[in-house]
Structure 1
Amino acid sequence: MTQTTVTADHLTKRFGDHEAVSALSFSVTPGRAFGLLGPNGSGKTTTIRLLNGLLTPDSGTVTLFGEQMTPRNADALRQRIGVQTDTNLYDTLSARENLRTWGALYGIDGRSLDSRVDEVLHTFGLTGRADSLVGEFSKGMRQKIAIGRAIIHKPDLLFLDEPTAGLDPEAAAELIDYLKQMIQTLNTTLVISTHQLAGLESLCDDIGIIAQGRLLAAGPVNALLDRAWPGNRYTLSIDGDHNAARRIVAARATAVDGADGELTFHTDDEHTVSEIVAALVHEGIAVRSVIPQHPTIEDFYFTTLDKETGA
């Protein structure tokens, strides 16, 4: 059985009468990226802070690298962890000095520290601002330094909370690419919480959907999508009698839907598609296109939340 890097077991956290996280459980194995997705206020940041020991759960446990986290071992475990949950930086220090300070706290020294700081600055396009005071930086630049601080020591486990907030689309895409590289080359395990879904398709192996502190769904991305949308899904664009076309498709496929010259259907047999096209053409209905549909993380996210709210 593969040992997990991080396991949450029925984590619960209350602030007064408000239960911010309720009996939340999931695990992430080494070298995989887990996306914790949910709206603002859903409990994502609280969960991240529980997982890295910044908050203590009211009930439930956190296990890191096969060892249950306790107040006694939390500091030792955090040496192997990188965390970005805010952009609180040393405003009166430069970008380079901020990274050097945190690198030294993680035990990097000498030439290794200088080299690593230069590497991180280059990665985030901040070499030209290395000696500028962080207090003068924009929100996006501060976000880059906060993430750089979390990865300076090449952690085994990395927690990122809304890491693309404040980044322009190009910088966000570059960050996603860098995270994929970390996972591939260092076998880093990543837990990323966000409500911004762009780029997650190529990054996350597993996801969890959280709302009002409760985990609504969790698991490998492909398994969740296959379970939600079994079989193959296609969209037909047609010219002709829509009702007649709908009857023809419904006789050969399932879950037929659509209007205004388009029909979407499911089938477990891809040969059914050619049969449907032939039948439509035989009845004088022109087929302009047949497009396979591939559900995405975004589709699953909104479908799951809609089910929760009854929308």
Structure 2
Amino acid sequence: MNDVVSPSGISDPLQELTLLLQRNAPSDGTHPSALPELCFRRASQVSEPKHSVNLPSLYVIVQGSKTAALGGDHYQCNPGDYLVSPVHLPVIGIITEASPELPYLSLQLTIHPDVILDIIRRSSPELDSKTERGILLGQSDAPLLDGLVRLVRLLDTPEDMEFLAPMIIREILYRVMKGEQGAFIRQFSITGSYSHSISRAIQLINRDFAKPLMIGELAKEANMSPSSLHKHFKKITAISPLQYQKALRLQTARRLLLSEGLEAADAGFRVGYESPSQFSREYVRMFGRPPMNDVKHLRNTMSPRTD
């Protein structure tokens, strides 16, 4: 395979992407960009497990390493690897390789369903009824990395972004779907597949997560039987609909405790818990510490080091 040579003269697109991310993410943390779909992450040390409900996205590891866990499945991501998920998923991420000299660097590109649908209409709309996990690990090739380099490079020419960014994003997603991952992504976009129905159910839970979850009503909205909903929901997310709602509630409560300084009971009520004791018990099961102790620990770990 021929090397892709960029205008900067760097023949290795992963090397150029590393340099671009070092510039666009100069300090530890998450860095949004001028493109709403694109953000960067940098970390100078390994991390504790981070619970999150990820947006439908393409995640590319550029430097360092990370492990993502979904249910009992673990995905080891090294430089050049990517994770793609077309649905919101409760994932636990751990940065396993990072240092001040070689920080962990990654980018996230949000996936918009309308773009995927348009790519499907213009390509082969093959449909397989098989239901799989809602996350997939792949290895970037040179054309995909070249597209990512050109997208990040657009941040240096804001006047070009409005016109060129949509085309490059479409190209990037086309590259991902062109490989063996294409059939996997299509399942979540084509009406009539189990994956599409579960995607609809996930959207409904995310929209009304603080309300009591009625499985019968959710199954009806997804055009499935309750038993089929439970079976395919667990295949895709590794957990049941009720467990998914619980994870979403607790992670939202954690953010409220950290960002708004709420009392534990108030955060629990805000996300749908009627019993403070039940909220505290379930919080400890997920995060390992009582709510206020956990928030104190998080603030301490986020404080800048002085040594």
TM-score interval for Structure 1 and Structure 2 normalised by the shorter chain: under 0.3
* TM-score between both structures, scaled by the size of structure 1: 0.27
Rg (Cα) greater in structure: 1
User: Counting helix residues as a fraction of each chain, which structure ranks higher?
Assistant: 2
